[in-house]
Amino acid sequence: MSQTTSGLSPARSGFARLLTKWGLPAPLFLGYVGLLLFMIGDGVESGFIAPFMANNGAGTEIRASYVITVYGVAVMLASWLSGALSDLWGPRRVMMAGLVIWLVFDVLFLAAAVGTENYPLMLVFYGIRGFGYPMFAFGFLVWITAVAPVARLGAAVGWFYFAFTGGLPTLGALVASFTNPLLGHYGTLWVSVGLLALGGVLAIFGVRQRTGYTRLAPPEVKPVQSLVSSVSIAWKKPRIGIGMIVRVINTAPEFGMLVFFPTIFISQIGFGESRWLLLVSVIYGTNIFFNLIFGVLSDKIGWRTTIFWFGAIGCAISILLLYFVPVAMGAQYYWLALLVGALYGATLAGFVPISALLPSLAPEHKGGAMALLNLGAGAAAFVGPAIVSLFLGPAGAAGVVIIFAVLYLVAAVLVRFLKLPEETEKAIAEDASLQQAGEKVATA
């Protein structure tokens, strides 16, 4: 296609080729930027929302935790719905619904619930708001899997998680560190509304790629049928169900360790709160960049290979090191804790290609596959803490960490069953050849 017919200037075409070379689908570029801003807005509250609610209507941190639990249930349901509804409505409409839900119910939460210190309204409004960010973010993820060249899908998904985790909690918490002293917690929460609205509008109205504007399921598929199939695909195509379990294992230990690691690292080892928080920042900061690195690498060495070695086996080793090295060496070897924390953050990113692998296992049911994948992501937030609550007493902290390591080894075994259909592997090989040929022509 010529520049005249494509409507792109030479500079714009060159920028698009650069993005494509990096594995980022050029037509979705503004969507990635919008997602980053959206998740920064969502992540602003991550470091202080529980005590804020306790002081502004909930009364105690326990009652605040009930609000966050309701929110978590909504996140899990919305994570599933984002894939199922994308099949029916198209990803763009799902993203719009998520943006509207978040904005409406967050404004109600701040103005009506917090403004009047009304705990029942806090439960309702903050809880319903939980449907917002998964529908927006994971709706965009479905759009990516529907558009990105299959040979570059790992990199495209890596860019998604680069933007997602870059905003929540990393840059969101950084923004709050500047705005809290100036505006207070309440003012900072209103800043988050503005950031999130800006990102949502940019992504929804800035991306003109038409695939996301229409439903992904065939016209004859009815709404109830689509919703049922997004669950039944787990046993109709067992590899999708196995992939969902791998996705649960991916982050369940991460959520679980955050339940009891703070007490161990702050008090038992003696790092103190500030050095523990810096360690957490190192874990997530490393994870952001390795999301991108492993996304790109997985397209070259294989999605399953990346998940198996760098994700499952890597995490089994690094989570043991993350606990036992600081406990054994003590507070005076804090630099070692930072090193093993960075290693855990990096190996967590080894699971990124699961978001490319699963929809490729069922290319005719991408929405349903993504629905189960996202359900696994939401369920991890419950499975991890549940394991801690069940085993921390009888097994102790070391025992729980060993259980987490064993789970990662289980994931390694399960990944071996996630072999792509032969026709899909051929399509990936052909697409890779076309991509390389296109790059040679562009640089000639």
pLDDT tens-place string over residues 386-422: 899 899 999 999 999 999 999 999 999 999 999 987 7
| Among the listed residues 239, 151, 157, the one whose alpha carbon sits nearest the alpha carbon of residue 426 | 151
Superfamily of domain 235-439: MFS general substrate transporter like domains (1.20.1250.20)
pLDDT tens-place string over residues 280-301: 889 999 999 999 999 999 999 9
- Omega prior to 169 cis, within 30 of 0: yes
| 6 — pLDDT class (breaks 50, 70, 90) | very low
pLDDT tens-place string over residues 243-269: 999 999 999 999 899 888 988 999 999
Please tell me the distance from the alpha carbon of residue 103 to that of residue 20, in angstroms, as a whole number.
33
Q: What is the CATH number of domain 23-216?
A: 1.20.1250.20
What is the mean predicted confidence (pLDDT) over 232-238?
88
Note the pTM of the prediction, 2 decimals. 0.87
Does residue 225 register a pLDDT over 50?
yes
Cα separation values, 40 from 163, 195, 196, 252, 385, Å: 9, 7, 7, 23, 25
Does residue 3 register a pLDDT over 60?
no
- Equal fold, 23-216 vs 235-439: yes
Please tell me the distance from the alpha carbon of residue 36 to that of residue 291, in angstroms, as a whole number.
14
Cα separation values, 147 from 171, 354, 374, 426, Å: 27, 17, 18, 18
So where are the chain's domains?
Answer: 23-216, 235-439
Residue 311 near residue 351 (C-beta atoms within 8 A): yes
